[in-house]
Amino acid sequence: MRVGLFLYRQLTRLLSPFTGWLLQRRVARGKENSKRLNERVARQLPPRPDGTLVWFHAASVGESMLHLAIARTLLERGYTINCLFTCQTLTAADRINDSLAQNDRFAQTWTLQQMAPLDTPGIAQRFVTHWQPDLAVFAEGDVWPNLLTCLQTAGTSTALINARMTDKSLTGWSQWPKTAAHVFGGFDALMASDKKTSMGLQSLIGHPVPCPGNLKSALPPPPVFLDELTAIRAQIGDRKVLFAASTHAGEEALVIDAIMRMEKHPFTIIAPRHPERGDQVQTLLEISKLKFARRSHEDAITPETDVLLADTMGEMGLWFRLADTVYLGGGHTPGVGGHNPLEPLRLGKPVLTGPSLFNFADMTRDLADKGGLVIIDSAEDLISHFPAPAPPAALIDELEQNAFEPMNATVAALVPLLPAKGGAS
């Protein structure tokens, strides 16, 4: 066994007795559901369904949406599969369950959402032994050595799709070259989301890694109920709308500072990336003296409302369509690295965002060069760029034309890994 892998396995084994304590601490901080802790330790799990089972694992919301799109595409193309979705965050769990309930295609097969198992040797073994997946699909960078070892020992095919690695993570893996080669070289299918990751993975495993493009470009814009869109638009009136989307700590303060200093307040929608931060954002709004309505409290929007605190799930399609300009969070909070700008751009909305965009470096550089995205540093920049001009029509056409290439390439790589019984019906 590689030294790095051996040390990791021993460390996680030593931590095993403390998993209950660690999970209870996360419950106290609102990061775990106390009723779902058995899922985290792979105990009292539901029965495995008969037939081909594909396990889709993701860290958070964005990667979970990728997995749902891939599963839906496989089902639409006639592949008979059961789908197990796991994730690390409660927000992602809610989004997955909402999507499963709303899509008729998923109603025609067995699907289940579970919280991801902790990566200790014992828990990983229990999880894999119970579910016996025929194919395990990981997304971006959320890979777990103990789980991968158990899957490979069991003969399960594995894939890492839309792989994305920062300079920091590539540097970290390069310090353990044999372990990195074992972990990433062990995938039966490995695809990078950007050229930097492709080259970095190639240096780790010693052979080329295909880069079909960022799979998030294939995600359709989020849906909307037209009646609700019309009703809220009427409540807003003729005011310009600034939508602060997927914001993190510190970014709401920047937005609030900007709108307070504007000569005429726009109607502002603030949707924190994690809706459970709604109370924190409300405190900022109370201090600012801005008049606000809170969506989760079903507060009414009036002509005097300055800000709508959109601390709910599943309504991004509504807020994007109402916006004149989108401020996309994740670029001003250290360590986040930005969020996907393609959803608002494909709806024709101009995007402003902060400078820390390492998660989407290639994409955002290209979009900025083509006039689809403006990088801002401060509240002053936000003021000077609002309202922003619409992105060029040629860019929107290009995004639509290129949207499905990464999905087609990803599905083509996964299909050979399905057993014959999971083939097209």
Residue 359 has what pLDDT? 84
Residue 302 has what pLDDT? 95
> Per-residue confidence of the chain (425 residues) as pLDDT tens digits?
578 889 999 999 999 999 999 999 999 998 999 999 999 999 999 999 999 999 999 998 889 999 999 999 999 999 999 999 999 999 899 999 999 998 888 998 999 999 999 999 999 999 999 999 999 999 998 999 999 999 999 999 999 999 998 888 889 999 999 999 999 999 999 999 989 899 999 999 999 999 998 898 888 888 888 999 999 999 999 999 999 999 999 999 999 999 999 999 999 999 999 999 999 999 999 999 999 999 999 999 999 999 999 999 889 999 999 999 999 999 999 999 999 999 999 999 999 999 999 888 888 999 999 999 999 999 999 999 999 999 999 999 999 888 889 999 999 999 999 997 556 65
Residue 57 in domain: yes
Collect all residues with Cβ–Cβ distance below 8 Å to 92 and sequence separation of at least 6: 58, 59, 60, 61, 63, 64
- Indicate whether 417 and 354 sit together in one domain: no
Locus of tokens 């401060």: 378
Q: Is the peptide bond prior to 334 cis by the omega test (within 30 degrees of 0)? A: no
- Indicate whether 165 and 262 sit together in one domain: no
Q: Which of 381, 343, 378 is nearest to 363 (CA)?
A: 343
Locus of tokens 């400078």: 355
Residue 221 in domain: no
- Indicate whether 199 and 231 sit together in one domain: no
- Indicate whether 193 and 62 sit together in one domain: yes
Residue 132 has what pLDDT? 98
- Indicate whether 7 and 77 sit together in one domain: yes
Residue 423 has what pLDDT? 60
Residue 277 in domain: yes
Q: Which of 220, 237, 245 is nearest to 347 (CA)?
A: 220
Task: Give the integer Cα–Cα distance in Å for 410 and 398.
Answer: 20
- Indicate whether 188 and 260 sit together in one domain: no
Residue 386 has what pLDDT? 97
- Indicate whether 47 and 95 sit together in one domain: yes
**Could you give phi then psi for residue 98, rounded to 5 degrees?**
-60, -45
Task: Give the integer Cα–Cα distance in Å for 300 and 307.
Answer: 11
- Indicate whether 106 and 236 sit together in one domain: no
- Indicate whether 416 and 376 sit together in one domain: no
- Indicate whether 242 and 275 sit together in one domain: yes
Token pair for residue 180?
Answer: 């990195």
Range of the domain at 55: 3-211+404-422
Beta bridge partners of 111: 83
Residue 420 has what pLDDT? 75
E-strand spans in 256-312? 267-272, 292-294, 307-309
User: What CATH number should be reported for the domain holding residue 205?
Assistant: 3.40.50.11720
pTM of the full structure = 0.82
Residue 268 near residue 291 (C-beta atoms within 8 A): no
Residue 147 in domain: yes
Residue 272 in domain: yes
Locus of tokens 């950007």: 194
